[in-house]
Amino acid sequence: MRDNRSMSAKIKHGFWSDLPKPFFILAPMANVTDFAFREMIAKYGKPDVMFTEFVSANGLVSAGRNKLLIDLKFSNKQRPIVAQLFTGHPEAMKEASILVKELGFDGLDINMGCPDRAVERQGGGAAMIKDRENSLKVLEAAREGAYPLPVSIKTRIGYNKNEIQEWLGFLLEQKLPALTIHLRTRKEMSDVPAHWDLMPDIVQLRNEISPETLIIGNGNIESLNEAGDRISQYGCDGVMIGRGIFGKPWLFSSLHYPRHVGIPKFSSHSAKTKIQDLKSVSLAAKNDIRFAKRISVPQYSSHSAKAAIAPLVRSVGRILGDAINIEDRLKIMLEHTKLFEEIFKGIKNFAVMKKHFKAYVSGWEGAKELRLKLMEAVSASQVDRIIKKYCG
């Protein structure tokens, strides 16, 4: 009996119940977090969970399906990986969810926050905030099709105004395994700072309605340090990072070290010693560091241990970002470009890489000139030549 109960909990929450806490997620970003970029991120700094870019469920059940399948390509290195779909049509959602399950994803997420007019016209994305009845139908269809995969939702705090009680309260009643909240309204798009101050109300609502639902905060987080601070301050279970990853596939790299060395289990004294070791290791082997923000949050260490190691974690935490010198950055960018070309040749326009070039090549004297040259490139071999010339 006991075993059966834990099995059903496992099925409903799936991989979400196995995540460390706090956890950090790569946000879905259309035309950015494609297979190639996720592969780079998996190599240089894997987050706890990755999401695909969103894919139209309507498209997946239409004649154009084959063209969209590339957006659902993933590798085992990217696990746990969640496919994100959007639609306002329950039947399309059900059929597309079956496909998601058959493709072997770890979870399915429904986009209920995208402000794009084309998405909203289909009744999907943020339009769902205005139509609870249909959003429930779409959720039920997804659950039916994807079963036993866990089905989560990513949304915003409201359409034109803060609708936390009504909208998030309604979603929490559906007993989701995880709910990601981009802390802005649909109307605000991404034009104002995310309302992190609302997170405690959301967490309290979750505690009252559905204590088992994981709450993931999203919006304006640029680094793991910031993410850790938000979690400590506001009490959500995880943070999702979007634009902060632009040009920095190594952004999540600091997550792994403490898991290997088990720092959270150490006493404050030994934790401190370990961190000191870590600091020297990191100085010696800068690109292969695994350091930690996670250890500075309360769940992982006693208060005194936390206080002792926090400054070191911060200084170590800054090392990798700064330590990636220009040459290494450009090498990673070239590797990304080659992979993009290999995977998407004839499928996606090479111009997609240009927003990555802008992000990789920024922040040093001479970056602008190099960027301008890269904007003219139409192939990985041209990028290779430009970089070689630049590096002399």
Ligand X SMILES: Cc1cc2nc3c(=O)[nH]c(=O)nc-3n(C[C@H](O)[C@H](O)[C@H](O)COP(=O)(O)O)c2cc1C
Residues lying near ligand X in the complex (CB under 6 A): 27-30, 32, 53-54, 84, 111, 113-114, 154, 182, 190, 218-221, 241-244
At closest approach, how far in Å is the CB of 86 from ligand X? Answer: 8
Nearer to ligand X by C-beta: 89 or 154? 154
Q: How far is the CB of 246 from ligand X (least distance, A)?
A: 8
Q: Which is nearer to ligand X, 323 or 352 (by Cβ)?
A: 352
> How many angstroms separate the CA atoms of 364 and 326, rounded?
8
**Secondary structure (3-state) at 99:** helix
**Tokens 């959500």 appear where?**
236
Return the number of the residue (179 or 386) whose C-beta is nearest ligand X: 179
DSSP assignments along 369-380, one per residue: HHHHHHHT--SH
Q: At its nearest, how many Å lie between ligand X and the CB of residue 28?
A: 4
| Smallest distance from ligand X to CB 30, Å | 4
Report the nearest approach of ligand X to the CB of residue 201 (Å).
19
Residue 236 among the catalytic residues: no
Nearer to ligand X, 243 or 272 (CB): 243
Determine whether 201 is exposed, middle or buried from the number of CB atoms within 10 Å of its CB (0-12, 13-18, 19+): middle
- Among 72, 92, 108, 114, the active-site one is 114
CB of 45 to ligand X, least distance (A): 16
Question: Considering beta carbons, is residue 190 or 381 the nearer one to ligand X?
Answer: 190
Please identify which residue in the block is written with the tokens 């915003």.
156
Cα–Cα dist 52/35, whole Å:
8
What does each C-alpha distance from 113 to 109, 273, 350 come to in angstroms? Answer: 12, 45, 28
Of residues 190 and 273, the one with the C-beta less far from ligand X: 190
Looking up tokens 């898991």 gives: 259
CA angle 335, 108, 346 (to 5 degrees): 40
CA atoms of 378 and 197, how far apart (whole Å) = 44
Contact 202, 142 (CB under 8 A): no
Q: How does DSSP assign 205-224, residue by residue?
A: HHHHH-TTSEEEEESS--SH
Instruction: Let me know: does 52 contact 17? Beta carbons within 8 Å.
Output: no
Residue 114 φ then ψ, to 5°: -70, 130
Q: How far is the CB of 257 from ligand X (least distance, A)?
A: 23
The span from the first CA to the last CA of the chain, in angstroms, equals: 69
Query: Is the distance from CB of 111 to CB of 27 less than 8 angstroms?
Result: no
| Dist. CA 220–CA 326, nearest whole Å | 25
d(CA 177, CA 216): 11
- Rank residues 164 and 221 by Cβ distance to ligand X and give the closer one: 221
Peptide bond into 80 cis (omega under 30): yes
CB of 269 to ligand X, least distance (A): 37
HEC string of 313-352?
HHHHHHHHHHHCCHHHHHHHHHHHHHHHHHHHCCCCCCCH
Q: In this complex, which beta carbon is closest to ligand X, that of residue 14 or of residue 242?
A: 242
Please list the active-site residues: 114
